[in-house]
């Protein structure tokens, strides 16, 4: 009888949630490494934003990256999922603030700042854990 060996890939991620003073989640950011070596980001943003323009990421005062589309909206907010390329990961590692820029339903710009402090150490740990 042949021996069947099952391989399970480990997927690690890191996340940051921002909550309002009343405890309600304002936004969530998750970065995950995939078994193929790629990195994905998942953003959960609140309702009240226009979906068509998507969300634009901006690291510190660098030029904004290409807009990312929203995939769907859930009872907890609207979700955008996309691949993060190596150059963008390098910029995130060297940055201090990631700005998530959206347009409100009132057609005004709104920016959600996300601290990047500690991201480099967290990404290094995520990669190390994913490799085991």
The domain limits of the chain are 13-131
Domain at 13-131, CATH class: mainly beta
Helix (H) or strand (E) holding 131, with range, is helix 119-131
Phi, psi of 2 (to 5 degrees): -70, 150
Residue-level pLDDT at 38: 86
Q: How does pLDDT run along the chain (132 residues), one tens digit per residue?
A: 455 555 556 678 899 999 888 888 889 999 998 877 789 999 999 999 999 999 999 999 999 999 999 999 999 999 999 999 999 999 999 999 999 999 999 999 999 999 999 999 999 888 788 766
Closest CA to 92 of 66, 115, 112: 115
Cβ-based neighbours of 53, under 8 Å, separated by 6 or more: 67, 102, 103
């Amino acid at each position: 009888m042949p021996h069947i060996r099952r391989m399970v890939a480990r997927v690690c991620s890191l996340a940051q949630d921002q909550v309002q003073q009343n405890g309600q989640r304002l936004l969530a950011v998750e970065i995950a490494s995939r078994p193929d070596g790629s990195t994905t980001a998942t953003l959960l943003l609140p309702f009240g934003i226009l979906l068509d323009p998507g969300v634009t990421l901006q690291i510190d005062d660098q030029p904004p990256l290409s807009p990312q589309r929203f995939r769907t909206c859930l009872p907890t907010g609207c979700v955008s999922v996309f691949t993060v390329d190596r150059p963008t990961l390098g910029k995130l590692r060297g940055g201090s603030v990631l700005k998530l820029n959206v347009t409100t339903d009132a057609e005004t710009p709104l920016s959600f700042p996300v601290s990047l402090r500690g991201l480099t150490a967290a990404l290094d740990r995520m990669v190390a854990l994913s490799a085991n």
